[in-house]
Amino acid sequence: MSAALRFAEVKKRFGANEALRGLTLEVPAGSIFGLVGPNGAGKTTAFSIACGFLQADAGEVSILGQNGFDPMRLKGRVGVLPQDALVGRETRCLDHLAHLGMLSGLTTRQAHREADQRLEEVGLADRRRARVKTLSHGMLRRLSVAQALLGSPELVLLDEPTSGLDPRHAHELRELFARGRREGQTLMISSHNLPELEALCDHVALVDQGRTLATGPIDVVTGKGETVEIELGDGPAPAAALAAALPDDTVIWDDERRLMRIAFARAPDRKAEDVIGAALRVLLDAGARIAGVRRGQTLEKKFLEMT
Amino acid sequence: MSPFVRDVGLVARFELGEAIRSRMLVVMTLLFVGAGALGAWGFTEVLGTVEENAAKVMGNAPPPSRGSTLKQMTRSRSYRDMLRVFTRDDKKADYFASLPPIVVFFGWASFTFVPWLVLLTASESIAGEVATRSIRFSVVRTGRLPFALGKMVGQAVVVAGMMVLTAATFFVVAWIRLAGFEPGATALGLFSYAPRVLLYVMPFLAWAMFASMITGNPQVARSISLGGAVALNILRGLGKIPALQGPALDPIWDFLKLLTPFGHNEGLLYPPGGALMADVAVCLMLTVLYFGGGFAMLRRRDL
């Protein structure tokens, strides 16, 4: 799978603050890529460098096969939702989108059609003639998402796209992003809503203090293909029997949380489902009461563990 | 059409639209048209007084209405002598005497005040977008050069529109208030000055854009635009102080004069004098110089 966006040892400093200290990551084409990190980790700086808003001090950024961001050469191929960018208060939603659509290379007619369609998709069709100053915070966010999706760009970079949205609109946007991916778009999303990213993304990078802590397919980063967690109810906890039944794997019993963690070696003929089946048989035979089964760690847990 | 030119046009058009939507155009129209109407009205009052005084001195009856003796007065020797005192040049005085007085006043007032209005209103154009980060919506779709050029073209179109409106205001006020009004000569004079004023204003506009491109703070941009222009004007004025003149210093003052936008309106005000092309060249050069200097900063800076 080729990379739609690649950062190699990218560094950026703002005075005494070193925002990026050699960030390295690769966004595979056709994926939804989550960028995860605490506040000040460098996520927005990375987004801004990818879009050419900020100049990197060192390192290389490659975007859709081009070295660095050249808006004229990448015209219409990249959509961006910048964080905290304001739209002119007196501008009408449709005028704003149509203008940006034309700047993206669309004809006047195409731009107006696209603007209407995107407003419909983000639930703002009834506000197409409204001035921006009359929109709520959530509506402004959706308008900004709409501009990022104008012209169906190959690569869409979304910095906190669902921040401040109600659950319904956040869900609708996630559906929109998933549809974009199915249609061949690559999306890179930064968010603090980790369950949202976990549900949406197939690749992820955990960053902290300007460095990449972990990156790759989300199953690999969260250990979904390497660990299984089984939560037990009150009653027996046959850890020794389980360890004996799975001699090639590591079984750890967390008594406090009543959690049986099984770390297994990845192999083509042995998947997580096989391990779960074997473990459940042993546990049920030993009279254990199963309260829950989960593959790997949650993204949130992995994030807390690493940062 | 190349994408570059198209983008310049799109940004300029949106800039114009924003000026209309944000009511900035209304404010500018009020400024230009209001000041033009007030100036033209005041000037016609002065003309009326001059006519009355001239009639008194000549022992004639007062003119029946304002402007009724204007034609005779502008053809008189005393009017030319007065212009000679102001211009200190016979040929220049003859040239201005051949124009309706309201046209001469329009030319002088426009060359004097419009640059300051432009410095005041255009300096926030890009800095304002950097401050709100709305520039990010545009520069991800087009280059920074077509964006900045489009902004400047948009502002130039606004100024051009204002010049036409101001000229029309002068025309209407003169028509209403002067009995001896010459519509053909006045219209020709006013509308031939308007593009020349616009040309003179271009380096000032470029200076305002320079200020707008080197900072992301609109207030700082306005201060640089106005304060810098005042400083450039003072610098130019220093060369006129006799104590600071001399063979060693004169080339420095000449060079500084070339770098400031002020004073390059001699040929534009008085084309037969022969300085027209030189002034046009200097205005265009300074426009490119200031804009280029500002863009060199905008091109590299973080947005």
ipTM computed for the complex: 0.84
Q: Do A71 and B143 touch (CB under 8 A)?
A: yes
pLDDT tens string A228-268: 999 999 999 999 999 999 998 999 999 999 999 999 887 77
Residue A266's H or E segment, with its range, is none
pLDDT surpassing 80 at residue B251: yes
- State percent of chain A over pLDDT 90: 74
The residue in chain B having the minimum alpha-carbon distance to the alpha carbon of residue A108 is B10
pLDDT tens string B101-154: 899 999 999 999 999 999 998 999 999 999 999 999 999 999 999 999 999 999
Q: Of the given ranges (A12-16, A283-287, B93-97, B154-158), which has the lowest mean pLDDT?
A: B93-97
- Could you give the angle at which helices A137-148 and A167-182 cross, rounded to 10 degrees? 0
pLDDT of amino acid B254: 83
> Reading across the β-sheet that carries A17-28, which strands appear in turn?
A17-28, A3-14, A58-63, A66-67
pLDDT of amino acid A81: 95
pLDDT surpassing 80 at residue A171: yes
- What is the C-alpha separation between A259 and A268, in angstroms, rounded? 27
pLDDT tens string A19-33: 999 999 999 999 999
Contact residues of A toward B, CB < 8 A? 48, 51-55, 69-72, 75-76, 78, 80, 82, 84-92, 95, 99-100, 102-105, 131, 147
Query: What b-and-e string marks burial along B190-221, b requiring 16 or more CB atoms within 10 Å of the CB?
Result: beebbebbbbbbbbbbbbbbbbbbbbbebebb
pLDDT surpassing 80 at residue B180: no
Nearest-CA distance from A158 to chain B in Å? 13
pLDDT tens string A271-301: 888 899 999 999 999 999 999 998 887 888 8
pLDDT tens string A85-139: 898 888 999 999 999 999 999 999 999 999 999 999 999 999 999 999 999 999 9
- What is the C-alpha separation between B78 and B97, in angstroms, rounded? 11
pLDDT of amino acid B264: 87
pLDDT surpassing 80 at residue B75: no
Residue of A72, A97, A134, A143 to mutate, testing the B interface (most B Cβ within 10 Å of its Cβ): A72
